[in-house]
Amino acid sequence: MVAPVRPGFVGIPPMRPEVAHPKSQMLATVDALLPLSLLEAVRDVDTPEEVLEAEFVDELRNKRLGLSDTVYTQIKRYTEAVRRNQRTAQEEAVALAKLIGRRPDAEAVLRAAGRFLAREAYMTVSPVTRGMLHVFPSLVSRPMALRQVRRIARRYLNGNVRRVGTSVLLEIPRSITLGVAAGDVGCAFYEATLRELLRLLVGTTGSVEHTRCEGRGEGSCEWRADWRGADHANAKAA
C-alpha cells in the first residue's frame, strides 16, 4: 500500500525490497542506495539553509516534498534496505525519478542525487585501498581505481565500465532517469555520479561527455571521462 501523502503530493511508490539474486535479475532491480540517493537529494534541496521559526515549519512541510513525512519514512526504509544489502524493483526508482523530473529544479536535484550515490559508494571501498589510491603513483593507482569504478557501476548503476586510451566509458543499458524531464536533463544523474566518483578515487577529473544518449535514439546512454585532467592536476601539485 502506498504511504499516505499530503495534499498536492504525488504518491511515492512503496519500497518492495528484494534480496540480491543472480545476474539474470539484476536489470529488473536496483541497489537500494539508488532510490535512497534520489530521496536524500530531494530532502537536501528542500531543506532551507536558514533557521526558521516553528510557525513556518509546518507550512514548509506542506509545500516541500523533501520535508514531508512521506519522504522521511521512505528514507528510513531505504536506509535499512541498504544496511541489509537489499535490492528493490527498478520501477520504484523510475517512479521517483519521474517525480523529480516534474520539478523546475530537476537537474539540480538529480545532480545532487548522483553526487550522494557516488560518495556513499566510495565509502564501500576499504580504507586501505582508498589510502593507496591517493599515495601510489598513477601507474599503480589507476588500474586499482578502474576496478573500483567497474564494481561500483555494476552494483549501484547496473552499468558497464571500460577504459579506452586515456578515457573511461560508462554505459547504462537501462537508465532509470531516461525521459523524466525535457531533453537529456535526466542523464545528469549519471554524469554527476561518474564525475564525483572519479574525483573521489583519483583526486580530480577532466571533461565528462555524454557521448551517446538513448533519448536521441543512439542506443544505450554512454559517458566518457578523460583521466588526463587528473594527471595534469597531480603534476601541477607536485
pLDDT per residue rounded down to tens, the chain (238 residues):
333 333 333 455 555 544 444 444 445 899 999 999 999 999 888 877 654 444 455 555 545 655 577 888 999 999 999 999 999 999 999 999 999 999 999 999 999 999 999 999 999 999 999 999 989 988 888 999 999 999 999 999 999 999 998 899 999 999 999 999 888 899 999 999 999 999 999 987 778 999 999 988 888 999 999 876 555 444 444 4
Please indicate, yes or no, whether the overall pTM of this predicted structure exceeds 0.85: no
pLDDT tens readout for residues 133-191 = 989 988 888 999 999 999 999 999 999 999 998 899 999 999 999 999 888 899 999 99
Q: 89 — phi, psi (to 5°)?
A: -60, 135
CB 107 within 8 A of CB 192: no
Architecture of the 17-237 domain: Alpha-Beta Complex (3.90)
Helix (H) or strand (E) holding 211: strand 208-212
Cell digits of residue 6: 499530503
Gap between the Cα atoms of 30 and 45, Å rounded: 23
